[in-house]
Structures are given as structure tokens and as C-alpha cells.
Amino acid sequence: MSDVISALETLELAIGRGAGIVDDADLKSARTVAEQVRDRRGFLGDTLVIALAGGTGSGKSSLLNAIAGRRIAETGVLRPTTERALAWIPADPEPGVVALLDRLEIEGRFEQHSLRGVAIIDLPDHDSIVLQHQQIVDRLLPEVDAVVWVFDPQKYRDPLIHDDYISRLLEYQDQFLFVLNQVDLVGQQDLADIRADLLASLREDGVSEPRLFELAADPPGVAPINIEPFRHFLGEQLDAKAVTTGKLLGDIRRAGRQLRVAAGLDRGAGVGFEDRWPSVRSSAVEAMVDGVGFDDAVCRISDFVTALSVETGGRFGIRVRNEYDNARIEEELRTAIDNSGFQPVARVERGKLSTALHLLWFGPDQRAPTESVTALASGIESRFGHGLFQLLWDRGVFAATLAEVEIEARLAERR
């Protein structure tokens, strides 16, 4: 558990360092995840909260009834049957479970004595018949410890579930179980084909080791088939603590990854500032010394700021541009010139006649004295180089902290 806490604290540190680098909305959603992880620590290893999910009519409610051994959830042929999530929870539930259900606004709660330490939530369907259901499902999934995806022999390839849910939620794949329900409806040979096909599509989704149970929760006229092994697995073999820890680490990694993407850091943090800036600085100084002038020097710094802004992108890119807009560049450059004692050289016109006149007037060696040039260069360094470096440094520290989140969470997952 201390591993989870230390990865969580690093995530919180990253969130603190992300101000001004990613949008507030992105920081807010990462903060919400961090708070949820903190809330959930409270009952780690005690109650395992499992959600039943899947297409409408696959038999989620029937599965819950079969596990419970009594009819607690509405089932039916009219779709969707389950309008609101409901929960089957241990009698005398621990406060953490009650708080979680309160937070999820699940009002239907049925107490059970038969499966110690397990709470099962029956979710509304995933299909888009009623949009609101999908929103409920989206909100619930990240909050539970394990998800049982229920398929039936007809719709087990439903792209909505494979593409929009399973492959989008791969960080949680250790917490996924898969059920092929309604096996009473197919013969042995068909069942073997469907099993192979379903496992292949789950692997295509990115699930590396899908755990699949085949059963019939509500075969007409006969008792449920293969429910007992599944019940036994939920009650005895699913290691609640490992599952929950894995889930929390998955949440932390996911939040870290979203921050990385939001900051444009998934393409890497480096912009090669230290390699590029010295030549920009020299070209600004040269522009002044060669008499091309102030405007050209402003342009060279401004072009570089624009390049940095575009390359870093997003909120940070806008910040770079805003902090170093042209008005500020002009002002800082003017101050650097004033403080250096450097005398700007008259602007050289590039036509032959004017160059000749310029040479006649100023002579061929009309260059600013070296000392003031050096002072100008160091003025530009301190007025632009330091500030830009500091901005990029903060972004680099943020990137390193996010990398640390990923490393800590991965190491903890292996323990």
C-alpha cells in the first residue's frame, strides 16, 4: 500500500508543478483521480467492488440473480431492462462501501450473507438506446475494483463494447473478467468457435490474458449452468487486495499519462534550447553590430519564441508567447542596449549606392566597441535566455515528475 501512496504523492506533486503548463481543466481531472485514490485507500482489501457490464440483454441482471441465488434485479426481454445501477452488498457493509455507493448515487442496495467481502453492482446497458445510461456507465467504471464484461453468443463482437470501452480502458485490464453467458443456446461446436473468436477479439482489443468464464445464468426451465465455479472464483480466488492495488495504480498511471498528453510531452520534453539559443543570441547581437538594426534583432528573438511556442504547444506554448510578446521583447532589448553602453549603428541600406555612402560616411571599421558588444550579449542573455530557460526548465521538471509517476506505479505493479 505504501507503494500506491508514494506513486499517488508523486502524482500530486506533478499536479502542483503542472500549473501554467497544462490547462486548469486537465489539472482538475487529475486532481479528482488523486482524490478518488485517496478515498479508496480506506477499505483496501476488505470489500471487493465488482461491476457487471456489457451489452443490453447479455444477461448482467440474470447473472447477478444467479450469483445471489434469488431474484433481486429486474430481467427481461424488453430492452433496456435495468434503468438504474443497483448493488448487492455484504450485510453490515463497511463504511467505505457505503460511502462509495453514496458517491456513485446508487440507491438500490440489497444486503447479502452468502459471498463474504464482495459487492456486485449491476450496471445499466451499454448500448446507445438511452444515452444517459452510457454516461452512468462511464462514471461508474473508473470507481470499481473489477469489471465483469458479460457477452452473449449473438452480440459478443459488439464494437461499442470492444472499441469504446475495453480497448479504451486497458490500464484496468488486470481488473477485467469476461463471461460468455447463454451458452445453453449454442451447441458444443459453435461454442468452441465462439470462444476462440471472442478470445481473439479481446486480444485484438489489447487484453493480454483474458479470463473467460462460460455459463448460463438463466436458461429457461433449468437451473443456471456453471455459476458455482464463477461464484467461487469471485469469493475465493480473486485477490481483492492485489486487484484493488492494481486498480489504484492503473488510475494513477492513467492520470499521469493524460497530463503528459495534455502538456504535449508524449512527443518528448526536449526542444534543444541550450543548443539553439546561443546562435539566436549571437544573431541578435550581430544584427545590431552590423547595423541591420534593432527591428531585426527583435525579429530574431521573436522568431525563436514563436518556434518554442509552436513546438511546445498547448497551454504552455501560449504562455511562452504571451510572456515574451513583441512589446516585451522590444522593451527588454532596449534596456539591454541602454545598460550595455552599446551605440546602435545606423541602419545600412542594402543598395550599392547607399552602401558606398555608408562606407564613405562611417568608414569600413564602423563597428561597436567589443566591450559594449559583450555587455549587450550578456544583457540579452539575462533578459531573455535566463527567463526562457527557466520556463522550459519548469516544464522539464514537470515532465520528469510525470515520468517518475509512471516508474513508481510500474515498479509497484510488479511487487
Ligand X SMILES: Nc1nc2c(ncn2[C@@H]2O[C@H](COP(=O)(O)OP(=O)(O)OP(=O)(O)O)[C@@H](O)[C@H]2O)c(=O)[nH]1
CB of 258 to Mg ion, least distance (A): 31
Q: Of 6, 29, 81, 339, which lies in the binding site for Mg ion, with binding defined by CB under 5 A?
A: 81
53 binds ligand X (CB under 6 A): no
CB of 172 to ligand X, least distance (A): 20
Residues 171-190: x/- map of binding to ligand X (CB under 6 A)? ----------xx-xx-----
Q: What's phi and psi for 285, nearest 5 deg? A: -65, -45
Residues in region 79-98 near ligand X by CB under 6 A: 79-82
Contact indicator for 170, 77 with CB cutoff of 8 Å: no
CB of 150 to Mg ion, least distance (A): 9
Contact indicator for 108, 85 with CB cutoff of 8 Å: yes
Q: Which residues contact 125 (CB under 8 A, 6 or more apart)?
A: 54, 55, 56, 57, 60, 79, 80, 81, 82, 133
182 binds Mg ion (CB under 5 A): no
For residue 414 the three cell numbers come to 510488479
Query: Which residue's CB is nearer to Mg ion, number 82 or number 244?
Result: 82
Burial group, residue 111, by CB count within 10 angstroms (0-12, 13-18, 19+): exposed
Percentages of the chain per state (helix, strand, coil), in multiples of 5: 60, 10, 30
Residues 201-220: x/- map of binding to ligand X (CB under 6 A)? ---------------xxxxx
Residues in region 335-374 near ligand X by CB under 6 A: none
* Alpha helix (H) residue ranges in 341-385: 352-362, 370-380
Query: Which residue's CB is nearer to ligand X, number 7 or number 106?
Result: 106
CB of 223 to Mg ion, least distance (A): 20
Question: How many CA atoms are closer than 13 Å to the CA of 266, on its beta-carbon side?
Answer: 9
61 binds Mg ion (CB under 5 A): yes
Query: Which residue's CB is nearer to ligand X, number 160 or number 411?
Result: 160
82 binds Mg ion (CB under 5 A): yes
72 binds ligand X (CB under 6 A): no
Query: Which residue's CB is nearer to ligand X, number 216 or number 388?
Result: 216
Residues 218-237: x/- map of binding to ligand X (CB under 6 A)? xxx-----------------
Question: How many CA atoms are closer than 13 Å to the CA of 366, on its beta-carbon side?
Answer: 19
Find the helix or strand (DSSP H, E) in which 245 lies: helix 240-262
Q: Of 7, 18, 48, 58, which lies in the binding site for ligand X, with binding defined by CB under 6 A?
A: 58
Contact indicator for 113, 65 with CB cutoff of 8 Å: no
Distance between CA atoms of residues 315 and 121, nearest Å? 39
Query: Which residue's CB is nearer to ligand X, number 10 or number 181?
Result: 181
CB of 55 to Mg ion, least distance (A): 10
With CB under 5 to 8 Å by kind, the binding choice for 401 among Mg ion, ligand X, none is none
Query: Which residue's CB is nearer to Mg ion, number 220 or number 268?
Result: 220
Amino acid at 268: G
Establish whether the linkage from the previous residue to 124 is cis, with ω within 30° of 0. Answer: no
With CB under 5 to 8 Å by kind, the binding choice for 216 among ligand X, Mg ion, none is ligand X
Return residues touching Mg ion (CB under 5 A).
Answer: 60-61, 81-82
